[in-house]
Amino acid sequence: MAVAEPPGVQVTTTLDDPTAPVIHLAGELDLASVESVKEGIARHLAGAPVRITFDLEKLTFMDSSGIALLVQVSNDVGQVSLINVSPIVHRVLEATGLLEHFGLAP
Partner 1 sequence: MIVRRSFEPSEVSVGAARRFVAGTITDVAVGVAESVSVMVSELSTNALIHAVGGFEVIVDRSDHHVLVSVHDQGDGTPELQSPDASEPHGRGLRIVDALSDQWGISSTADAGKSVWFRLALDSPGTGAPTDGTTRVSAGRTSVGTGPGQARPATSPGAPGSAASGTPASRHRPARPRRVHPSTSVAPLVASVP
CA distance 24 to 14: 8
C-beta of 65 vs 81, nearer to partner 1: 65
C-beta of 48 vs 68, nearer to partner 1: 68
C-beta of 17 vs 98, nearer to partner 1: 98
Site string for partner 1, 22-51 (x = CB under 8 A): ------x-xxx-------------------
Does position 105 interact with partner 1 (CB under 8 A)? The reply is no
Quote the DSSP letter at residue 33.
Answer: T
What residues pair up with 24 in beta bridges, in sequence order?
12, 55
Question: Which one of residues 1, 7, 16, 46 is an interface residue with partner 1 (CB under 8 A)?
Answer: 7
The burial of 66, by beta-carbon neighbours within 10 Å (0-12 exposed, 13-18 middle, 19 or more buried), is given as buried
25 contacts 59 by C-beta, under 8 angstroms: yes
Give the range of 15-23, 38-46, 47-55, 59-67 binding partner 1 by CB under 8 A: 59-67
